[in-house]
Structure formats: structure tokens, C-alpha cells
Amino acid sequence: MERRRNHPVRSFFKYLVLIFVAVVQLFPLYWLFTFSLKNNAEIFGGNTMGIPQVFRWENYQFVFQNGNIGLYLQNSAIITAASILVSTVFATMAAYAIARMKWKLSNAALLAFLGGMMIPLHAVLVPLLIILNNTGLTNTYWSLILPYTAFAMPMAIYIFVGFFKTIPKELEEAACIEGCSIYGVFTRIMIPLIRPAIATVAVFTYLACWNELMFATSFNGGDATMTITVGVNAMAGRYATEWGRVGAGLTIATLPTLIIYILLSKQIQKSFTTGAVKG
């Protein structure tokens, strides 16, 4: 890709801005990491933003030795992966029916699904607890997978509908003429086309599930199903907290997120070279 019309000065200016923004956006990550290597004296006043005077790796050692952080990570991974999987499969299906198929209620259905996004979560905490308790699902992975899936779907469906709508009709028509079933069209033609959307939605669903605290605290108790977010939160004491250790816990909880985001967002970019079909 040669840029014959891009003026070098303008280009320089553009990169200057981009790099400046990048530094600003990177700062929280830097701050979290250095926070996790400090003690309270530095965090509170002494050295809030700088590089730690001494790198206190023992904060990490503490996190691994106290509580069951491995188990919590495993629980979070299972719950998050299941929520992403279920919500992606169901949301792509529903979005396809809404965006591409012809039925009277399709717009109403979209709005109804979107309604799920509009609920303030605190207002449904008690009803959900009643439902989950009556179905015996509290203290299981399902008590989180089901609500996480449900609350991930509105956003997913809305985004997928937007993507499906931009796909040209000719593709389905061609497949229809070739005798492909609607299910075949969906799985073999449509899904590959919206891969960037799936990756995008997966990122958002991942974040919502991985960092969720209120449901995870209220629907489950005990180590067996405890998520990493609850586990790290429990490191803050009622009376005294070693914040560096909490920072270490938060860093450990954030690391998988970072890795997954980088992997998934590569998918979004890659589709540039492989996904172009229309026009």
C-alpha cells in the first residue's frame, strides 16, 4: 500500500497524535502493574504514580499462597467461556432471523431483545435470586452462565443485526438457487461473513462476565464456584488492606483479559484480508 498523496508533515502529525493517545491509554495498565509492586506507603502519597522504589514481588507470592486463586481463575474461565459460547450461538441465530428473514414481528423482536440492555441490573438482582434459588441453580456455574448469557445477548443481537443487514441479498439468492437449506446458508455463508462482529462481541461479553461482581457474590458462596473477581475483592479487608496485594490480584485477573483481547482483536483485523466479498 503506497501512499502517494499522504503529505509527510501531515503524516508526522497524525502519528504524533496517535502515539500521544496511546501513551494516555496505556497509562492505566502501567499504573496497575506498578501499583501491584508497591506498599501502602508508596500508594498513599509517597509515590502514587512513579516506578516503585523496591519491586515487591512478594505481593504476588502472597496472592498465590492465600486463597484459592487458581481455582477462582478456573471457575471464571469456565463461566466466561460458556457464557460467550452460548450467547454467541443463540444471538447469531436470533439476529439472523431478525435481520434477514421476513416475519411481521421481527422489529418488535429486536426491540424486545434490546430491552434486556435497558434493565438496571440491581433491580433484577432479587427476582433473579428467587428464580435461581427455586430452580436449585444457586451455587452452581449455571447461576452465572444463564444470566450472563441473557444479559450479553441484547448487545450481541443488536450488533449482529447491523452486520447481517449490510450483507448483499445476492449471496442468499445464489445459495437458494443452488439448493442450499436455510440452515446451510446460515452456518456456511453468513457466519463466516460476520466473523469480525463475532470477535468484537466476544470481547465485550468476555469483559462483562469476567469483571462482574454483584451477581457472582449474590448467587454463589464458597470457594467451589467463586470467580476471580470475587476472590480478589475478598482480599480487601474490613479493617485493614494491603493495597499492593490487591493490586497484584487485580493484575493477575487482568492478564488473561489482555491476552484474550489481543488474540480476538487480531481476528477483527484479519477479516480485512479474507472477508471482503461484496461490491
| For other proteins, the closer CB: 93 or 141 | 93
| For other proteins, the closer CB: 54 or 101 | 101
* Footprint on residues 71-90 left by other proteins (CB under 8 A): 71-74, 76-78, 81, 84-86, 88-90
Where on the phi/psi map is residue 139: left (φ > 0), alpha (ψ -120 to 50), or beta?
A: left
Instruction: Report the nearest approach of other proteins to the CB of residue 58 (Å).
Output: 10
* Footprint on residues 205-234 left by other proteins (CB under 8 A): 207, 211, 213-214, 217-218, 221-224, 229-230, 233-234
Q: Which of 206, 204, 174 is nearest to 190 (CA)?
A: 174
CA–CA dist 69, 84 (Å, integer): 22
* Footprint on residues 113-142 left by other proteins (CB under 8 A): 113-120, 122-131, 133, 138
- Tell me which amino acid residue 145 is: I
Tell me how far CA of residue 166 lies from CA of 161, 162, 169, 240, 279, in angstroms: 9, 7, 9, 55, 11
- Tell me which amino acid residue 78 is: I
H helix or E strand, kind and range, residue 231: helix 228-233
| For other proteins, the closer CB: 53 or 266 | 266
Three-state secondary structure call for residue 238: coil
Cell of 42: 508508596
CA–CA dist 9, 235 (Å, integer): 51
Instruction: Report the nearest approach of other proteins to the CB of residue 113 (Å).
Output: 7
Give the one residue of 12, 16, 18, 51 binding other proteins; rule: CB under 8 A.
18
Q: Does 241 bind other proteins (CB under 8 A)?
A: yes
Where on the phi/psi map is residue 43: left (φ > 0), alpha (ψ -120 to 50), or beta?
A: alpha
* Footprint on residues 174-203 left by other proteins (CB under 8 A): 176, 182-183, 186, 191-193, 195-200, 202-203
CA–CA dist 206, 214 (Å, integer): 16
Q: Does 9 bind other proteins (CB under 8 A)?
A: no
| For other proteins, the closer CB: 41 or 51 | 41
Q: Does 59 bind other proteins (CB under 8 A)?
A: no
Total binding residues toward other proteins, as defined by CB under 8 A: 166
* Footprint on residues 34-53 left by other proteins (CB under 8 A): 35, 39-41, 43-46, 48-49
* Footprint on residues 249-278 left by other proteins (CB under 8 A): 250, 252-269, 271-272, 275-278
